């Protein structure tokens, strides 16, 4: 009996402490909700910085509690997202430089194996990269500029091409035979498709909404071009050191887990990005040759467009087929050139999917085509064109992490079953 009383007395403070902790968390969540409401209804002049500071102060006394830690991580994520969204234009040269350095890492590693100092290797790769870039701009820049200018002058005829074609009696008869109203297609094209394209460039939220915005774009582009070579040099020279510093931010107990997964994700993403760029370049060159042979209008613009949009599997080729038919509408030999464009794009896409991709990428991504299309649709819906570009590598990364997590859970379950037996 005497042994049970101290045990009962020691249980009381624990119970009271848990209730106090629970009340603190409920109060904290309530205050956080109020802060969110104030931030959205009556924005504080200092913006998310003031909001995050207040939230951090309120959370700090119980920072060791798991829920409090989760709230602190959430506040930090919201603040980081705000900073990145506000500084996205400023961060462009840093992101581009890092991506180039990441893609050129094998070249740097090869040069280091040749006993070339990191600074010399980084300078050499930077000079070669920008030399090729400048040479390409000088070589094809004027041609692309002329074709783009001609395309802008022909925009009215391209704009009216589909409605005029749908007014042809033979075409209307064929379309009606499929149970489709040509007037509906014409209306959707004129009042939905084309305005969406034009508004994305010319409305108040577009790229060319005003003279100040145009000036800002030009200034930021010039600044990016000035800083890009220097940033690229330092990123390539100190890439391993920067990765090591980032690794130092990870707690020791999580370091093995993070390194294991980062190596797998790095191998998949790097292989996919480099391989996809090589496949896109080969595909663009394969498109350009028949376009030049058969004098297809805007051949270089179409080839460059295929280079860019073929990075978006399945969706990119459909978009380029539509654009190719519209661009060829300015040609007197419309049917012939449209046929050449359609056959070329479909043939090159087949070569990419069935020959180049298995040879270059193999099964590195490891995703079924159904999941690829689904991921492109989901990321494209939420993030637009950028989402389509990053859909496959991100989905592959999620797939790898999920498989590892599932394997761990299955192993733990098997171990528990073995213990029980």
Q: What is the CA radius of gyration of the chain?
A: 29
Query: pLDDT class for 71, splitting at 50, 70, 90?
Result: confident
**Which tokens sit at 325?**
């038919």
Instruction: Please check whether residue 105 lies inside any domain of the structure.
Output: no
Tell me what pLDDT residue 240 has. Answer: 76
- Quick one: the chain helix, strand, coil %, rounded to 5? 85, 0, 15
Q: Helix, strand or coil for residue 209? A: coil
DSSP at 62: G
3-state secondary structure of 48: helix
- Whether 308 maps to a domain, the answer reads yes
CA distance 311 to 284: 11
Q: Is residue 188 part of a domain?
A: no
| 4: Cβ contacts below 8 Å, ≥ 6 apart | none
**pLDDT at residue 408 in the model:** 81
CA distances, 338 to each of 98, 284, 297 (Å): 40, 17, 10
Highest-scoring range by mean pLDDT, 33-37, 149-153, 412-416: 412-416
Structure tokens at 236: 């390539």
Residue 59 located in a structural domain: yes
What gap in Å lies between CA 80 and CA 59, rounded to an integer?
18
Q: What pLDDT, on a 0 to 100 scale, did the predictor assign at position 4?
A: 46
Residue 349 in any domain: the answer is yes
Which of 53, 86, 119 lies at the terminal end of a domain, its last residue?
86
Of the candidate ranges 243-247, 301-305, 330-334, 399-403, the one whose mean pLDDT is the lowest: 243-247
State mean pLDDT over 221-239.
Answer: 81
Residue 59 gets the label, from left (phi > 0), alpha (psi -120 to 50) or beta, of alpha
Q: What is the pLDDT of residues 14-31, one digit of tens each?
A: 444 455 666 666 666 666
Average pLDDT of the chain, as a whole number: 75
Residue whose C-alpha is closest to residue 161's, from 339, 335, 294: 335
Give the CA distances from residue 201 to residues 104, 135, 210, 281, in Å, rounded to whole numbers and listed in that order: 33, 29, 11, 27
Q: Which of 66, 86, 106 is a domain's end point? A: 86
How does residue 341 score in pLDDT terms, banded at 50, 70 and 90? very high
End-of-domain residue from the set 56, 86, 116: 86
Residue 238 domain flag: no
216 — pLDDT class (breaks 50, 70, 90):
low
Number of domains in the chain: 2
Residue 280 within any structural domain of the chain: yes
Query: Between the ranges 144-153, 206-215, 220-229, 409-418, where is the mean pLDDT highest?
Result: 409-418
Contacts 24+ apart (CB under 8 A), 179-185: none
Question: Which residue range forms the structural domain that includes residue 53?
Answer: 14-86
pTM: 0.64
Q: What one-character-per-residue DSSP string does 330-376 give? A: TSTTHHHHHHHHHHHHHHHHHHIIIIIHHHHTTTSS---HHHHHHHH
Q: Which residues, in sequence order, are CB contacts of 115 under 8 Å at separation 6+?
A: none
Q: Can you tell me the mean pLDDT for 48-67?
A: 70
Q: What angle do CA 23, 27, 32 make, to 5 degrees?
A: 150
Assess whether pLDDT exceeds 60 at residue 370. yes
Higher pLDDT pick, 266 / 337: 337
- Return d(Cα 226, Cα 250) in angstroms, integer: 34
Predicted pLDDT at 212: 56
Contact 366, 308 (CB under 8 A): no
Tell me what the mean pLDDT of segment 149-161 comes to.
Answer: 73
CB 32 within 8 A of CB 72: no
Q: 215 lies in a domain?
A: no
């Amino acid at each position: 009996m005497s042994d049970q009383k101290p045990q009962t007395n020691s249980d009381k403070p624990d119970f009271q402490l848990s209730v106090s902790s629970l009340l603190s968390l409920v109060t904290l969540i309530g205050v956080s909700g109020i802060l969110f409401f104030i931030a959205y209804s009556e924005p504080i002049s200092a913006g998310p910085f003031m909001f995050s500071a207040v939230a951090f102060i309120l959370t700090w006394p119980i920072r060791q509690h798991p829920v409090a830690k989760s709230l602190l991580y959430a506040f930090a994520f919201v603040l980081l997202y705000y900073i990145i969204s506000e500084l996205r234009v400023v961060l462009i040269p840093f992101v581009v430089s890092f991506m180039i350095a990441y893609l050129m890492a094998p070249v740097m590693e090869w040069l280091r194996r040749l006993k070339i100092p990191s600074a010399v290797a980084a300078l050499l790769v930077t000079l070669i990269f920008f030399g090729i870039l400048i040479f390409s701009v000088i070589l094809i820049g004027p041609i692309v500029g002329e074709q783009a200018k001609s395309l802008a002058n022909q925009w009215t005829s391209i704009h009216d091409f589909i409605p005029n074609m749908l007014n042809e009696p033979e075409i209307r008869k064929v379309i009606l035979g499929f149970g489709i109203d040509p007037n509906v297609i014409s209306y959707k094209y004129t009042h939905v498709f084309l305005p969406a394209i034009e508004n994305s460039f010319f409305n108040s939220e577009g790229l060319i909404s005003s003279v100040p915005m145009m000036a800002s774009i030009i200034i930021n582009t010039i600044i990016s071009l000035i800083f890009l070579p220097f940033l690229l040099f330092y990123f390539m020279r100190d890439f391993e050191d920067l990765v090591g510093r980032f690794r130092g931010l990870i707690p020791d107990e999580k370091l093995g887990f993070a390194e294991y997964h980062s190596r797998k994700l790095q191998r998949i993403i790097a292989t996919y990005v480099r391989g996809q760029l090589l496949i896109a370049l080969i595909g663009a060159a394969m498109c350009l040759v028949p376009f030049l042979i058969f004098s297809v209008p805007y051949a270089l613009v179409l080839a460059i467009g295929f280079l860019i949009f073929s990075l978006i599997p399945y969706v990119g080729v459909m978009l380029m087929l539509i654009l190719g038919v519209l661009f060829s509408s300015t040609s007197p030999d419309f049917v012939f050139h449209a046929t050449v464009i359609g056959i070329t794009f479909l043939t090159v896409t087949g070569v990419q999917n069935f020959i180049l991709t298995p040879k270059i990428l193999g099964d590195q991504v490891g995703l079924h085509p159904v999941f690829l299309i689904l991921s492109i649709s989901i990321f494209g819906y939420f993030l637009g064109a950028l989402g389509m570009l990053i859909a496959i590598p991100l989905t592959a990364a999620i797939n790898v992490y999920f498989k590892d997590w599932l394997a761990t859970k299955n192993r733990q379950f098997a171990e528990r079953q073995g213990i029980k037996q």
